[in-house]
Amino acid sequence: MKRTLMTMMAGALMLGVSAVAANAGTVAVSWKTFQEERWKTDEAAIKEVVEAAGHTYVSTDAQGSAQKQAADIEGLIAQKPDVILVVAFDSDAILPSIQKITDAGIKSIAYDVQFEDPNALYITFDNVGVGRLMAKTMLEKGKTEGNFAFIKGDKGDPNATFLFQGIMEVLKENIDAGKIKNVCETFTDGWKPDNAQKNMEQCLTSQNNKIDAVVSENDGMAGGVVAALEAQGLAGSVPVTGQDGDKAALNRVAKGTQLVSVWKDSRVLGKKAAEAAVAMIGGTAMDKLEGVAKFNGGKKGVEMNSILIPPNPITKANLGDVISAGWISKEEACAGAQADVEACK
């Protein structure tokens, strides 16, 4: 009897293991470039959820090349994953690769960067909303008039357009009234800080350093902008925006050389995307995922199932939010901080 019970228990255990193995899947990610600080945070959050669910995580790094990303996705398709998350380097160039993913019977997720395909899930922070928050913070805590420079992201990334849309919605009234003059507006190849610095240097030269505010579309570029301003003795007197919650940017907020970093907690984004992928492996349809809604705000107006996450603008006044959340240590955030930063006292 005892032996029979043990045999039955062993059999049940083997059946349980077999069931887990049978349901195990693979989630793949094609990163556009893994050199930016934030993607490592995203990846850790994705892996934690995927592996906790008993699935396998694989990834590739396109290293800022549309051609390499296409080749990377071909390689991922050959591995037959269940879901592929794609951070597109070029949202138009990637579309044939997305079609190949669909043709192979694999689910796709446009992660953080939109590509317009009705079969994919689009998950990101509300980037139009991020643009609004940067501009709103500029008007409330920075400048309401004067010569404004706009350092936009990469021309091939729709997020650059979404951000600028939100920025212009907020600033339009002051622009139309002649209070704000758009004296410099430029896209920045690859969102690279050194390219942003060059763009800002050219802007300062063309305007004889008469720049009152800079709306930079992300923190990496804001670093390049601040470097250009520092060279002219203007850092700290010209407010600069950014977004992503990069550690260096949050420290610049504390030091007063950057006005705001709109914090998009990429741990939340990664977790939600991984949970969506795991749910899809389990058979949940995209339009039945938690928090999903329809989105058609791209340049082609393609309707997609989407999950949009609200962001949080971080200034000197609420720097403690990112410290208490464990996003950055007090020591990292507060090195060289101005005396009026409450979180650093």
Who wins on pLDDT, 161 or 35? 161
pLDDT for residue 38: 81
**Percent of the chain at pLDDT exceeding 90:** 90
C-alpha 320/C-alpha 323 separation (Å) is 5
* For residues 215-238, average pLDDT: 98
* DSSP, res 145: S
pLDDT 10s digits, 297-344: 888 999 999 999 989 999 999 999 999 999 999 999 999 999 999 999
C-alpha 190/C-alpha 213 separation (Å) is 23
Instruction: Identify the sign of the CA torsion 30, 34, 38, 44.
Output: positive
C-alpha 305/C-alpha 295 separation (Å) is 6
Class of domain 2-126+266-310: alpha beta
Is pLDDT at 254 greater than 90 in this prediction? yes
Who wins on pLDDT, 4 or 142? 142
The answer to whether 245 and 322 have CB atoms below 8 angstroms apart is yes
- Going by their DSSP bridges, the two strands 293-295 and 304-309 should be labelled as antiparallel
Is pLDDT at 1 greater than 50 in this prediction? no
- How far from the centroid of its chain's Cα atoms is residue 344's Cα? 27
Confidence of residue 186 (pLDDT cuts 50, 70, 90): very high
pLDDT 10s digits, 255-295: 999 999 999 899 999 999 999 999 999 999 999 999 999 99
* DSSP, res 34: S
pLDDT for residue 14: 39
Length of the chain measured in residues: 345
Is pLDDT at 2 greater than 50 in this prediction? no
C-alpha 231/C-alpha 288 separation (Å) is 53
C-alpha 194/C-alpha 189 separation (Å) is 10
pLDDT for residue 298: 87
- The CATH number assigned to the domain with range 127-264+313-344 reads 3.40.50.2300
Is pLDDT at 59 greater than 60 in this prediction? yes
pLDDT for residue 207: 98
* For residues 97-125, average pLDDT: 97
- Token pair in block for residue 214: 């800079």
Is pLDDT at 12 greater than 70 in this prediction? no
- Token pair in block for residue 53: 């669910």
pTM to 2 decimal places: 0.79
* For residues 224-247, average pLDDT: 97
Confidence of residue 7 (pLDDT cuts 50, 70, 90): very low
Q: What are the start and end residues of each CATH 3.40.50.2300 domain in the chain?
A: 2-126+266-310, 127-264+313-344
* DSSP, res 142: S
Rg of the chain, C-alpha, whole Å: 23
pLDDT for residue 4: 43
pLDDT 10s digits, 199-221: 999 999 999 999 999 999 999 99
Mean pLDDT score across all residues of the chain: 93
pLDDT 10s digits, 85-101: 999 999 999 999 999 99
- How far from the centroid of its chain's Cα atoms is residue 127's Cα? 9
* DSSP, res 91: T
What are the backbone angles phi and psi of residue 143, rounded to the nearest 5°?
Answer: -130, 145
Who wins on pLDDT, 120 or 12? 120
- Token pair in block for residue 70: 């296409």
Q: What is the distance in angstroms between the CA of the first residue and the CA of the last residue of the chain?
A: 70
Residue-wise DSSP of 247-301: HHHHHHHHHTS-SEEEE--HHHHHHHHHHHHHHHHTT--GGGSTT-EEE--STT-
Is pLDDT at 145 greater than 70 in this prediction? yes
